[in-house]
Structure 1
Amino acid sequence: MIKWILILLIVAAVASLLGFNSLAGAAATGARLLIGIVLVLFLLVLFGLVVVA
């Protein structure tokens, strides 16, 4: 999932440099959403509420 976050951040940066503001915003929003999901999952694993096999 970290790979997808990095890809979306790179797409957002390149799109922003090329002037595609709506594409950059969509990619940044997707990256922000995935970062939130990863953070929540990390905290659940950290507190022991979810066991990773």
Structure 2
Amino acid sequence: LINDAQELISNHLQKVMERKTTQWSEIKNEITDTLAPFLYEKTKRRPMILPIIMEV
């Protein structure tokens, strides 16, 4: 489940980066909006998703 979620988010983030999105809040919302339906489909539960982005 975790590996599938990582792959899904990785692919989606590549698309987000192609749009040159620089707002952290927009990126976090994209992660949540992508991951929530996936997790519900797999587990039939709606866990709280807290995307944390660390700037390096």
Alignment TM-score, normalising by the size of structure 1: 0.41
Alignment TM-score, normalising by the size of structure 2: 0.39
Instruction: Choose 1 or 2 for highest CA Rg.
Output: 1
By percentage of residues, which structure has more helix? 1
